[in-house]
Amino acid sequence: MDFKQITYNEFHKTTSSLLKTLAALSEEQINLYPKEGWSVGQIGEHLLKSYAFVETLNGNTKETNRPIDQKLEPIKTLFLDTSIKMDAPKEILPSEESIDKKTLIKNLEDRIAQIKEVIQHQDLSFTCTDFSIPAYGEFTRFEWIWFNTYHTQRHLHQLEKTIRFNDLKKYKSP
């Protein structure tokens, strides 16, 4: 199996788990605020906003003069360490408004489909030049996709914890 297929499979598995988790909850459960942190709907909205990186994937690029996965290990280590508390950039903070479950899921499905298109049809080795993360610099398409895969996995852990903590009785694990 090649790296594009592995990337697609992991992104698909992760985002499918996200969508199934959200779909298993009622509108009320999605908008239930925990004592600390974001509601399930806010976590979903935060991820939706972060998936706007697809515009960077489809934006300006240049050839990469380093291994295309050079920045992957520190990203993976950071995002999968749930003992580290992180603050989201203001651009991807969720709103304080009630989240409409159907709209959230539909918008997530649309963005996920756009990202899958990039994985399948673009050269993942190119470096995206329209946006960079200050601590890391520019990412290759490959690194961006894995960055968001690990980011989603981190928030899936947060979702499961929020669901357990709030004892959302109707929830059924995906």
Q: What is the pLDDT of residues 70-84, one digit of tens each?
A: 999 999 999 999 899
Lowest mean pLDDT among 42-51, 130-139, 159-168: 159-168
For residue 22, what is the enclosing H or E element?
Answer: helix 3-23
Task: Give the E-state strand segments of the chain in sequence order.
Answer: 61-62, 127-128
Question: Where does the pLDDT of residue 136 fall: very low under 50, low under 70, confident under 90, or very high at 90 and above?
Answer: very high
Classified as helix, coil or strand, 168 is coil
Residue 28 CA to residue 40 CA, distance in Å, equals: 10
Mean pLDDT is highest, among 79-88, 100-109, 126-135, 160-169, for: 100-109
pLDDT of 98 > 70? The answer is yes
Residue 123 CA to residue 108 CA, distance in Å, equals: 23
Question: Which residue's structure tokens are 């981190």?
Answer: 154
Record the tokens describing residue 15, joined without a space: 């985002």
Residue 83 CA to residue 88 CA, distance in Å, equals: 16
pLDDT of 171 > 80? The answer is no
Phi, psi of 80 (to 5 degrees): -90, 0
Share of the chain above pLDDT 70, in %: 94
Mean pLDDT, the chain, whole residue set: 92
Residue 41 CA to residue 97 CA, distance in Å, equals: 10
Q: What is the mean pLDDT of residues 140-169?
A: 88
Q: For domain 3-165, is the CATH number 1.20.120.450?
A: yes
Domain boundaries along the sequence of the chain: 3-165
For residue 128, what is the enclosing H or E element?
Answer: strand 127-128
Q: For residue 22, what pLDDT is reported? A: 96
**Prediction pTM value:** 0.92
Question: Where does the pLDDT of residue 172 fall: very low under 50, low under 70, confident under 90, or very high at 90 and above?
Answer: very low
pLDDT for 6-49, tens place per residue? 999 999 999 999 999 999 999 999 998 887 889 999 999 999 99
Q: For residue 52, what pLDDT is reported? A: 95
Record the tokens describing residue 126, joined without a space: 């190119």
Q: What is the mean pLDDT of residues 159-169?
A: 74
Q: For residue 166, what pLDDT is reported? A: 66
